[in-house]
Amino acid sequence: MLKRLPILCATLLALAACSHAGNNDNATTPTPASSSAATAATAATAATSAAAAATSTSAAAPASTAPATSGTAAAASARTPPAATAAPFVDSGKWVAGKNYFVIEPAQPTTYPGKIEVTEVFSYGCPACNEFHTTVDRIAHSLPANAVMNYLPASFRPDENWPMYQRAFYAAQALGVADKAHDAMFDAVWKSGELGTDDLSTGKLKPHEAWPTINNVAKFYARYGVDPKEFVAVANSFSVNIKMKRADELVKAYGVEGTPTMVVDGKYRFDPSTAGGYAQTIELTQWLVAKEAAGK
């Protein structure tokens, strides 16, 4: 049974990570990173910006106090910013397989035909994902026209209410509001605390009876024009249950050890730790997209 780790002090090179038990034996996996408290990670991120160490929630070890199916099964909101100019593929030896990124074996089918799919495995309940999501926005804006951003919510921390956040994401996606409310959901969990499972004043979990429910989330999405009753009905629908099941299968097939984890075209997996920092994560994403486009 998973246990919650104490808060770890974040240094400039520390990594915030949310983790779960269980590995994919068919995939090469990096060593899980330790989790950091959300507030400490915020300070580290602000101080280091591009050079800051990345936040990654490890799937093989428990998360810190506060905290991402094949084909259409991996469906998540595709945020579509203006396309950036595609960079040519140049292998300078900077990025090393097995060190900076890991080959997913077997490669997994993707959702968007004709596009190179860049996927973030995340959870709204993960503090590391909260720290990292502005970087993911930058990654999305850095993608060329032949690539698309995708989001895969993880549920491997039921002890921290992650399945509820996963369900909420897929309901919002089905109702067409996942994209526009994505950043606001992180804020509702980690800034205002209205949808937080953690008590932001103590950094500890709230009593189970005080955890946010899908009904609480429905009221949040009402601000985006969604009828709360409809949201709850969709959230509990068969189609959302299927999406959740397939998402869990894909997280396992990817060999994900923690969130946030980035996956490129179902073939390559890495996280801010293995990339070397937030800015390096952007750079590595662009390089792997170029590599895939070049058929290398």
Quick: pLDDT tens for 35-82: 333 333 333 333 333 333 334 445 544 433 333 333 333 343 444 555
pLDDT interval class at 28 (50, 70, 90): very low
Domain range enclosing 198: 58-258+276-294
pLDDT for residue 187 = 98
Q: Is residue 91 part of a domain?
A: yes
CA dihedral 262, 61, 206, 66 (to 10 degrees): -50
Q: Structure pTM?
A: 0.77
Provide Rg for the chain, Cα atoms.
Answer: 18
Average pLDDT over residues 128-132: 98
pLDDT for residue 17 = 60
Tell me if 55 sits within 8 A of 15, measured CB to CB. yes
pLDDT for residue 85 = 62
**b/e string for 210-226 if b means 16 or more Cβ within 10 A?**
ebbebeebbebbeeeeb
Q: Is residue 172 part of a domain?
A: yes
Q: Is residue 11 part of a domain?
A: no
Neighbours of 147 (CB within 10 A): 27
Q: What is the mean pLDDT of the chain?
A: 80
Q: Is residue 197 part of a domain?
A: yes
Task: Give pLDDT tens digits for 179-224.
Answer: 999 999 999 999 999 999 999 999 999 999 999 999 999 999 999 9
Q: Is residue 43 part of a domain?
A: no
Q: Which residue has the higher pLDDT, 254 or 87?
A: 254
pLDDT for residue 20 = 57
Q: Is residue 179 part of a domain?
A: yes
pLDDT interval class at 128 (50, 70, 90): very high
Q: Is residue 50 part of a domain?
A: no
Total domains in the chain come to 1
Residue with tokens 């591009």: 50
Q: Is residue 37 part of a domain?
A: no
Average pLDDT over residues 239-257: 97
pLDDT for residue 83 = 59
CATH number, domain containing residue 252: 3.40.30.10
Alpha helices in the chain (DSSP H): 38-48, 127-142, 162-174, 182-190, 214-221, 228-235, 238-254, 272-275, 278-294
